[in-house]
Structure 1
Amino acid sequence: MAKRKRTTASEPAAAEPTILPQKKNYRQRAHANPFSDHALQYPATPAAIDWTDHYPAFAASGKVPEFADVGCGFGGLLISLAPLFPDTLMIGMEIRVQVSQYVQDRIAALRVTTLPDDAVLRPFQNVSIVRANAMKFLPNYFAKHSLSALFFLFPDPHFKSRKHKARIISPTLLAEYAYVLKPGGIIYTITDVKDLHDWMRTHLTAFPLFEPVDEDSLRAEGKGPIIDAVYTSTEEGKKVERNGGEKWLACFRRVPAH
């Protein structure tokens, strides 16, 4: 197979941009070890990031991402939410090389194959991806109180007790999530593993800067489309449905510090 040219999210993914990338050409292991020494480049501070490279249609707006999907996989949530919140910038964070490249190519293709002809008005201008290890570098990408939503959808359960330190929801990492989330911002978690659901809910409940918020309350606040996408838009979520499995949702609101 010919070597593919690496593209940015604002460039066409292939010479024939009407064809969306195929997942079969980007296959990789389901999970990556977050403690491995991955070859990553990351910004020294959020101020060092030029977000116009990711969102050229918003270059004059001065906006920064408000939604962050940590471990975004093949980008199902981002692609579902982008047209629903066209003025909200969204970023996916994915550590796996091939998977992040797929999402990047997918966004690039969607940007050039959707109408209207005016690039500024096309859908998917508000969504992008970075290859990053969120467990190590989240504050390098997001300033204090800059996010209104953080998503952790079907994360690696790390079943063995000695692997629990690698779970994406942990007492150590919750301080970082509280730092980047603005007061009132929401953490969305979902999994098909009851033990992991209990783990995430227990640690988030115990953390003083988060309070649980039920699904009905979020829907009453107008966040129903987000909840629906959390349940149904990801590849893992669709797999659970096909297999007749159960999904466990837990959401938490960032509260002001006292």
Structure 2
Amino acid sequence: MTDVTPETTEEPVAPRMRTIKSFVMRAGRMTEGQQRGLEQGWPRFGLSPQQPLDFAQAFGRDAARTFEIGFGMGHSTLEMAAAAPEQDFVGVEVHKPGVGALLSGLLARNLDNVRVYSCDALEVLRDCIADGSLDRVLLFFPDPWHKSRHHKRRIVQPAFAELVRQKLKPGGVLHMATDWQPYAEHMLEVLNQAPGYRNLAEDGGYVPRPEERPVTKFERRGERLGHGVWDLKFQRVD
């Protein structure tokens, strides 16, 4: 008797591609203030990545919208939000101590123009942010992934440039900054080749540090040591 394998009409399931993360989840001890910030601030400022973001509902108004990728401990976010109360800011950070620190700062300063995600910023951009809805996207001092074998982990890649372009309004700006010159050169190369952007630097290179980007304590220390910082601004043109 011959065994016959029944035919099936089901399509083979393709293996799920592994997404290369541009960050590493670090275990960090939270201070009491950071923990308190999470507990008290998250219900007011926290956002869920499970649904599209309705800016008008989240902020109760229609204003210029800034999306910040990887706000660290939130110092720059607090300074920018306090200096521009007429604007709305959405910050994304994966590390809980930083999220707690920002939430604590928002409560202490009584700021209401910031909302926060605690997850992968690229997933938020892709799944939660409507196309053509952002005035600015900020990427300040991302991990440069110095070693050549790790360059594939750098967040600034052609696919990143295209995703950001889709989410920016026409005329919206991607502002990046780094203190690692090889990464600055990489950023410049990627964005100069990306369609739909215009470099706002007069010479086609880097812009002077914009006044709206706060100077961090690490940047001040780097300046004392002779380290450089490179700012890049690219505007969506279509």
Bin of the TM-score, shorter chain as denominator length:
0.7 to 0.9
Partners of 2:222 and 2:82 in 1: CA distance: 25
Please say if 1:43 is aligned against 2:50. Answer: yes
Counterpart of 2:130 (choices 143, 148, 156) is 143
Partners of 2:228 and 2:109 in 1: CA distance: 31
Displacement of 1:91 in angstroms is 1.5
Displacement of 1:45 in angstroms is 2.6
* Structure 2 letter corresponding to 1:202: E
* 1:154–1:237 CA contact under 8 A, matched in 2: no
Matches within 5 A, 1:61-76: 61=61, 63=62, 66-76=65-75
* Structure 1 letter corresponding to 2:50: P
Displacement of 1:146 in angstroms is 0.8
* 2:172–2:235 CA contact under 8 A, matched in 1: yes
Matches within 5 A, 1:110-149: 110-111=109-110, 124-149=111-136
* 2:48–2:117 CA contact under 8 A, matched in 1: no
Indicate the percent of aligned positions where both proteins have the same amino acid: 24
Partners of 2:63 and 2:129 in 1: CA distance: 9
Q: Residue deviations 1:85-116, cap 9 Å, x none?
A: 222111111111111111111111111xxxxx
Matches within 5 A, 1:1-258: 4-5=35-36, 6-8=39-41, 42-47=49-54, 51-52=57-58, 55=59, 59=60, 61=61, 63=62, 66-111=65-110, 124-214=111-201, 227-230=210-213, 232-256=214-238
SS of equivalent to 2:83: coil
Count of residues in Structure 1 that have an aligned counterpart in Structure 2: 201
Structure 2: gaps spanning 5 or more residues: 1-30
Question: What is the TM-score when the length of structure 2 is the normalising length?
Answer: 0.73
Structure 1: gaps spanning 5 or more residues: 13-39, 112-123, 218-223
* Structure 1 letter corresponding to 2:67: A
SS of equivalent to 1:83: helix
Tell me the C-alpha RMSD between the 2 structures. 3.0
Single out whichever of 175-184 and 81-90 deviates more from structure 2.
81-90
Partners of 2:197 and 2:236 in 1: CA distance: 5
Partners of 2:104 and 2:93 in 1: CA distance: 14
Q: 1:2 to 1:10 in 2, by over 3 A?
A: closer
* Structure 2 letter corresponding to 1:185: G
* 2:92–2:121 CA contact under 8 A, matched in 1: yes
Identify the residue that residue 119 of structure 1 maps to in structure 2.
Answer: none
* Structure 2 letter corresponding to 1:252: F
* 2:65–2:89 CA contact under 8 A, matched in 1: yes
Identify the residue that residue 28 of structure 1 maps to in structure 2.
Answer: none
* 1:68–1:90 CA contact under 8 A, matched in 2: yes
SS of equivalent to 2:41: coil
User: Which has the higher Rg, Structure 1 or Structure 2?
Assistant: 2
Partners of 2:229 and 2:94 in 1: CA distance: 24
Any runs of at least 4 consecutive aligned residues in structure 1 with deviations exceeding 6 A, and if so which?
A: none
* 1:75–1:234 CA contact under 8 A, matched in 2: no
Partners of 2:233 and 2:220 in 1: CA distance: 20
